Structure 1
């Protein structure tokens, strides 16, 4: 029953995706306005509710984008799935591929070709990272950036608390990137210093939270310069995120500290120097934890200001939508650190596999050298990816569920915005109905996610393709998903 309820929720969410395309005149439909989005489902496992999504009325020229929500009688069959995929499986680009399809409501495997083969997952690795991070952070947990008193009254310390999405100005309560604002932090600190009559300070930075290397040894040397990934650090500005051909600063922590110093200067506080302070810390240590020689806790330093990030679950969703390699690595490292694991990239990768296995998923043979999927040394199976997807939709893992709801929508958002819409007048069946995580490395392409078929049944899928040119592989995977959307497969 839980799987059915979660699947109905996913179906309704995909209706919203199609409606958004319709309202933007990107697919045939009846909507001509942009209504407010429906309220989100609840986050209580087992009692999830459906948003109210009005269905368009029937038309003689345009069929319903989604059929009635499916029940058990609409369950697909393995035989029906083989028939639906027959033509797609002969595509040359899929000659060396692993493909798995499951019923999203029952978890039953409907199609499996090479699903147990270990392959390079590319960026679909982020699905496993999201599952692991979701075991450590509570659903509404945020990351705190603090400025505290130093050892002397005129010394202040900026404590890097893991938020790499700080707004350079005021925070925006409606945003994920930029929820916490550096200007808001500066306002608090300036006011606290004024109350103490302090006008001149030295600013240092405490980077003891989740320390680790900045770049993985298995990444390409050009990745940073191309904007594929930024420096993995526990503090940064939302305005300095890495993007294609727009690299992030080499030192995001120093950049944020200099920005805070400038904001304090604007508020009448003279900052004589910005110093780096990176005391060693073991796994699980917090930067503000101190103790006396007798082992009793020392008094906590005075907090001069603090700001809270968006919930980690929303940051994970953003990481999946944008395929943000840096953000994924930052969140995974913090989760591993908090859980007492090592923070080198391969240590975090091993920790992710352990966390996924703890969910009851078969991870036999899986190895990860990073959390984002940039490493060509990563190996997972298509079966593993679909098992994690089924878990994410069953309602028992709210952080993972929110992350999956952040996967790009076919033809509409993120890395799928320009896929499944080759003809704007006649979009492919999966447009607006599929959510999936893409993965692209030279010679290794992947796609894993969910789609609602013509019977309203939720299907989850994973495809890992080797050897084919990127464009051919993407086209073949898109046709694979379109075939799933276009069938009842009973």
Structure 2
């Protein structure tokens, strides 16, 4: 019995298993259809919700309309510009004690030597900080500020220097001589005139083409002999106050009233030695341009370029002429790049404009005369050159601050032309690679100043608008410094940055 029951249960289980197995097989066979059905339902429901309103009209709802984000709305007022506010005479003048509290902790030398300093309110001239500011110091290239002022006053910001070609002395039959006359432009380019530039504004290739055109109009074909007249400058071409090592290193070169690229072989290489006879180098470049321009016109050029024997060439007929960038533009370039050769040239041209000879001594006298004409005290000031390369220069921080004040606020508005030449901290010129670390970055774009550097000398003179909107002028000079000490430039930069952030009223 028990056996019979057991067999029956087994048969029942087997039948049940077959039933479920059959059902499972049916489900498996129908699984793709089931999945497809679910998928269609999933897609149909949202689609239906989107389509339904179009068929039945908008649903009646009490929900509020979606608000337009504020940033998508039309503004109802102009945004406040982020920058330096316009200067106002109502801006408070800094309190001297507060200025001292900012400068004294940072204006410290790295090693030996001392800093002198003066800070003034530009509008009133009030001295806000004075650390032995009347003491004479070696100023290095801050001397170029004096030369800039002198050139703008003595020559004029809009004046230009002409480089001419005139007919020369009589030559053998079938030949002619032409004279390249230097007029003070030492920024000549070898190629075509580039009127949008300062360096190369006047090009010798353009001058050569003009010369060939004039010769052709005269019906001349034959050989041309090139002479160079550099008699506008006289006296020693090298200032005896300059170190021969500085000359050999290319800091400057013998002075002539015409030169290519401010007496450089390559304008992009400012650390290389310079040509020692820039006038003849310019003459050779002009002769090469004349040869190229004259080839199709039957004009040939004698191989040798000769310096005129010192006789003026005032009576010659002008065949061609190109003009330099303006004095204002040249001053800006001089201040931005701190070019000694250009500074000395502008000094000599200031003397020439005053009817004096184009000598180094006349240049120094002309600079002092122009400063005196501005009412800037020159007592005790010593000028060994007008570029700052000489160690014999002696000028006080107070005198430099007065010069900067004359540029920014003085009655002679011609001096305003020098404002654009001041290097901008962290951006341009000799300050382009400074004001980039944490201690000075806040002065980037705000401090504008002329730099000066010699072996044991560092200087920084310029102007800045403080946090209250007050224009301040300053001059910091370090002398007797430890050569190679790394902390002296940052000390001056940090001091100028402190002035920029000064809310010292």
TM-score (norm 2): 0.77
In the alignment, structure 1 residue 277 sits paired with structure 2 residue 308: yes
Distance in 1 of aligned mates of 2:157 and 2:104: 41
2-side partners of 1:339 and 1:207: how far apart? 19
CA–CA distance in structure 1, aligned partners of residues 118 and 437 of structure 2: 25
Distance 2:79 2:256 in 1: 47
1:365 CA drift (Å): 0.5
**Bigger helix share:** 2
What is the CA-CA distance between 1:206 and the residue it aligns to? 1.1
Q: Secondary structure at the match of 2:153?
A: coil
Q: Given that residues 218 and 377 in structure 1 are in contact (C-alpha distance below 8 angstroms), is that contact kept between their aligned partners in structure 2?
A: yes
Contact 1:93 1:468 in 2 (8 A): yes
Shift of 1:456: 1.9
The residue matched to 1:204 in structure 2 has which SS?
Answer: strand
Q: Judging changes above 3 Å, is the alpha-carbon distance between structure 1 residues 368 and 162 closer, same or farther for their aligned structure 2 residues? A: same
Please state how far the C-alpha of 1:400 moved relative to its aligned partner: 2.9
**Aligned: 1:259 with 2:259:** no
Aligned to 1:404: 419
Partner Cα distance (1:370, 1:207) in 2: 21
Cα 1:278–1:420 shift into 2, 3 Å = farther
Deviations 1:348-392 (A, max 9, x none): 223312321221111110010101000000001111001111111
**Secondary structure in 2 aligned to 1:164?**
strand
- What is residue 353 of structure 2 aligned with on the other side? 338
Q: How does 1:365-404 map to 2 (within 5 A)?
A: 365-394=380-409, 396-404=411-419
Question: What's the offset of the Cα at 1:77?
Answer: 2.5
Q: Once the two structures are superposed, what CA deviation does each residue of 1:294-343 show, in whole Å capped at 9, x if it has no partner?
A: xxxxxx42110000100011101100100000000011111113323454
Who is 1:109 aligned against?
127
Give the Cα separation in 1 of the matches to 2:499 and 2:170: 65
1:118 corresponds in structure 2 to: 136
Q: 1:398 deviation in Å? A: 4.3
Q: 1:117 to 1:229 in 2, by over 3 A?
A: same
Q: Give the whole-Å Cα distance in 2 for the aligned partners of 1:246 and 1:399.
A: 35
Kindly name which structure, 1 or 2, has the bigger radius of gyration based on alpha carbons: 2
- Cα distance in structure 2, aligned partners of 1:121 and 1:449: 13
Distance 1:75 1:185 in 2: 54
SS state of the match for residue 100, structure 1? strand
| Cα-to-partner distance string for 1:31-72 (whole Å, 9 max, x where unaligned) | xxxxxxxxxxxxxxxxxxxxxxxx9847xxxxx453453332
Alignment partners' CA distance in 1, 2:262 and 2:396:
36
Question: Out of 262, 266, 272, which is 1:246 matched to?
Answer: 272
Query: Separation in 1 of the partners of 2:414 and 2:203?
Result: 24
Match 1:136 to one of 143, 154, 159 = 154
Report Cα offsets for 1:139-183 as digits up to 9, x if no partner: 211000000111337111110111011111011111111111111
Equivalent of 2:461, from 419, 432, 448?
A: 448
Single out whichever of 321-330 and 459-468 deviates more from structure 2: 459-468
Give the superposition deviation at 1:208.
1.5
Which residue does the alignment assign to 1:174?
A: 196
Change (3 A) 1:445 1:198: same
1: distance between equivalents of 2:245 and 2:414? Answer: 33
Unpaired segments of 5 or more residues in structure 1?
A: 1-54, 59-63, 281-286, 290-299
Q: Which residue of 2 aligns with 1:309?
A: 324
Q: What SS class does the counterpart of residue 189 from structure 1 fall into?
A: helix
Aligned equivalent of 1:226, options 243, 249, 253: 249
Distance (Å, rounded) in 1 between the aligned partners of 2:181 and 2:358: 18
